[in-house]
Copies of this chain bind each other. A is one copy, B any other.
Amino acid sequence: MTARPANAHQARLLRMLRDEGPNSRAQLGDQIELSRSKLAVEVDRLLQTGLIVADGLAASRGGRRSHNLRLAPNLRFLGIDIGATSVDVAVTNAELEVLGHLNQPMDVREGPVAVFEHVLAMAAKLRSSGLVEGFDGAGIGVPGPVRFPEGVPVAPPIMPGWDGFPVREALSQELGCPVMVDNDVNLMAMGEQHAGVARTAADFLCVKIGTGIGCGIVVGGEVYRGATGSAGDIGHIQAVPDGRACACGNRGCLEAHFSGAALARDAMDAASQGLSAELASRLETHGTLSAVDIAAAAAAGDTVSLDLIREGGTRTGQVIAGLVSFFNPSLVVIGGGVTGLGHTLLAAIRTQVYRQSLPLATGNLPIVLGELGQNAGVIGGARLISDHLFSPA
């Protein structure tokens, strides 16, 4: 795909076809508020570029039946979601439906060169599956702050070796298509907005609790990235005055008290101190513990695990309560690996937010788990690159 829309009307038509699927000229005309003749001009130009195709006749609305239009069926986007300990790569069509999805364990600390070898091998595998001839664009998320205009990670705490690495440029050369780079949390927010629980929300927060903890901020339907791309970096908001030492040099940061990493550490401490037979036995079997073990132990009734989840939810809820008072969102989505802890976690977060935020801000505020799981990030990646390609060049 080399063509891009020539103007804002064309861009809007492309995004409508992406978000709402194939549609008739008549319906598109109603929605876009263009005169019939102007719409015809823009549609014809898009048909010439090959970005959209005619797709049979639409249902009659009385009078002449109008043609259905859809995005080119051979368009393919790549969504890449790099986590701290695994990577997801998926290919979507132009409507951002996932056609193939691979996941692989990986350590982001291996650095960009090693990680990109994995990613390119996974992309090649998806390509060889026959679903894809080539990629028209790729959107990639990394677990740290990104200088968005350049697509470069900047001072990412859990990604040594990535600071300043030209991710966008390097990956674009390797893949031979346009690439956009963003924070993994922003990708999750975009995914849940496109196809998940936030479909109808304009102003919402998406809190991702994985190895670390971060927050995607959406204002008026657009991701808000802040002055230097670090907006939503809530892992180092103080949750406990004079609390635990954090890797950032401060004390009491939320991430030091609750995150996938903190939870694993707490669980291993409890196991080795003999506080939980359930956790001790799992530690012996696996040699280590993760959120998955704690979720399983909690499900089996282990009170130490339940307490760890509740306390973590309360800490997280304290921080979210402040953000809710400040930002007054219409929705809070909780996502990330730790959501396997499920409703025990959610209940603790909700209790704290509803208790501590002002009633005016929480009156109609749903706090819910994300719907898309591991698909959120890759769909968000496809959305990111399609937003770029479906805007005037």
Contact = CB atoms under 8 A, between A and B. Distances in A.
A224 to B, nearest CB: 6
B233 A361 contact: yes
Interface in A191-206: 203
Nearest to A330: B227
B356 A231 contact: no
A325 B213 CA distance: 13
Contacts of A154: 360
Given A203-B224, A228-B363, A233-B360, 4 more contacts: A228-B360, A237-B325, A238-B322, A323-B326
Interface of A: 145, 154-155, 203, 215, 217, 219-220, 224-234, 236-238, 240-241, 248, 250, 318-319, 321-323, 325-330, 355-361, 363-365
A326 B237 contact: yes
A226 B145 CA distance: 25
Contacts of A232: 326, 328
A322 B361 contact: no
Chain copies in the assembled complex: 2
Contacts of A220: 219
B322 A226 contact: no
A357 B231 CA distance: 12
Contact of A248 (B236, B248, B358): B358
Contacts of A225: 328
Contact of A356 (B238, B330, B361, B363): B238
Contact of A234 (B326, B356, B360): B326
A357 B248 CA distance: 10
A249 to B, nearest CB: 9
B328 A234 contact: no
Best-surrounded residue of A219, A233, A236, A325 (most CB of chain B within 10 A)? A325
Contacts of A359: 155
Contacts of A329: 226-227
Nearest to A240: B241
A233 B358 contact: yes
Given A219-B219, A238-B318, A359-B155, A327 B228 contact: no
Best-surrounded residue of A154, A231, A232, A330 (most CB of chain B within 10 A)? A231
Nearest to A157: B358
